[in-house]
A = this chain, B = another copy of it.
Amino acid sequence: MGTVKVKDSFREYLSKHNLKATRQREIILDEFLSSPSHLSAEELYLRLRRNNPNIGYATVYRTMKLLAESGIASERHFGDRQTRYEPNISEEHHYHLICNACGKIIEFEDPQIEALFVKTAGMHNFTLSHQRLELYGLCPDCQPS
C-alpha cells in the first residue's frame, strides 16, 4: 500500500475516533514513512527537528502511539529498552533475524512458518491477532573464521 493510502487510512481512523487531523500529525506520519524502519520515538523526534524545530517531544510520542493503535505502525522491542516502530507495509507478516554482534536486522517472511503459527493458535483455541518472531545469532560478517 502506498503512502497516499496510508495517509488516507490515518485520516479515516482519526475521524472515526473523533480525533483531529492536525498539521503535526501529518508531518510526523510523513517523516515516519520516509525514514528507515525500526526508529525509536526519540530518533524520529530528532529527525523531525531538522525541518520542524517547533514540534514537541510529547507530540511525537503521542502520535506514534496513535499510529500503532490505527494499525499503521507496530511497536517492537529488541534488546534495548527503547520502543521502536516499524511501518506495517504489507499484509504479510514478517520476522527478524538479528545479529548479536553488530546488531544488523534482516527481515524475512515465511508462509510455512506462518501456517504453523495459525495451526498452533487453533490447537489452543486462540484467535491470532499478531505475532513476534526474532531469531538471534551471528551474521556471516561477525562469525569467527
Q: Which residues of A contact B (CB under 8 A)?
A: 77, 81, 83, 97, 99-100, 106, 108, 110, 112-113, 116-117, 120-121, 124-140, 143
Contact assessment for A97 and B113 in the assembled complex, using a CB-CB cutoff below 8 Å: no
A77 to B76, CA, bound (A): 10
Contact sample, A vs B, 15 pairs, CB 8 Å cutoff: A97-B121, A97-B126, A113-B117, A113-B120, A117-B135, A121-B135, A121-B137, A126-B137, A126-B138, A128-B135, A128-B137, A131-B133, A131-B135, A132-B136, A133-B133
Given A112-B116, A137-B121: A143 in contact with B127 (beta carbons within 8 A): yes
Chain A binding site: helix, strand, loop or mixed by DSSP? strand
